[in-house]
Amino acid sequence: MFKLFFKLCGWKVTHFLPDDIKKCVIVVAPHTSNWDFPFGMGTVSIMKLKQNFIIKKEWVKFPFKRIFLSLGAIPIDRQKHKVSGDKNSTVHAMADLFAEREELRLVITPEGTRSRVEKWKTGFYYVALKANVPIALAFINYETKSTGIDKVIYPTGDYKKDMKEIMDFYKNMKGKNNHNFSVDLELSK
């Protein structure tokens, strides 16, 4: 269904994740519209890419449970992690998922919302660093009607250097509501 929608809308996948990468954090940007979801799902369908994403456990109940799980949702109890008092406990829980699975490509939208933000959430970086997995840079470019995974970086622990590389990659991408897209300008200098 997503694949057909994707093609009927005239979109194309231009870059693919290398087959040998079985574990990674996939960063997707820009994320400025609800339309990003069907185009993203069309992309993974065309790529034949098994991917997962984190979702609030409250969403994984009847009548949506079967749908979300079939799309790759992994439910997480955010309240449980907040109660622990460790502000990074969700990052640790997500990183631990990589140790529990032979294959995990975890999709994260670092903007955290479809509204404009000046600073991206950094959890994706620390999840990849803690799990010792690469970060795959996926894009949805409405200007060119193209999607894909064009670059894979291995976090070094030098946050500013690594994030500059990531920001430089995304700075010319165009979201559906492009006025809502922003890279962290401090990190792209």
Task: Flag whether the pTM goes above 0.75.
Answer: yes
User: Domain spans of the chain?
Assistant: 2-188
The residues, any chain, with a CB within 8 Å of residue 158's CB and separated by 6 or more, are none
Separation of alpha carbons 97 and 95, rounded Å: 5
- For residue 155, whether the previous peptide bond is cis, meaning omega lies within 30 degrees of 0, is no
DSSP class of 73: E
pLDDT tens digit at each of 189 positions of the chain: 889 999 999 999 999 999 999 999 999 999 989 899 899 999 999 999 999 988 888 888 888 888 888 888 898 876 665 545 555 678 888 999 999 999 999 999 888 776 777 788 889 999 999 999 999 999 999 999 999 999 999 999 999 999 999 999 999 999 999 888 888 766 655
Can you tell me whether residue 57 is helix, strand or coil?
helix
Separation of alpha carbons 120 and 116, rounded Å: 10
Separation of alpha carbons 37 and 31, rounded Å: 9
Distances (CA, A) of 2 to 7, 19, 105, 165: 9, 22, 19, 31
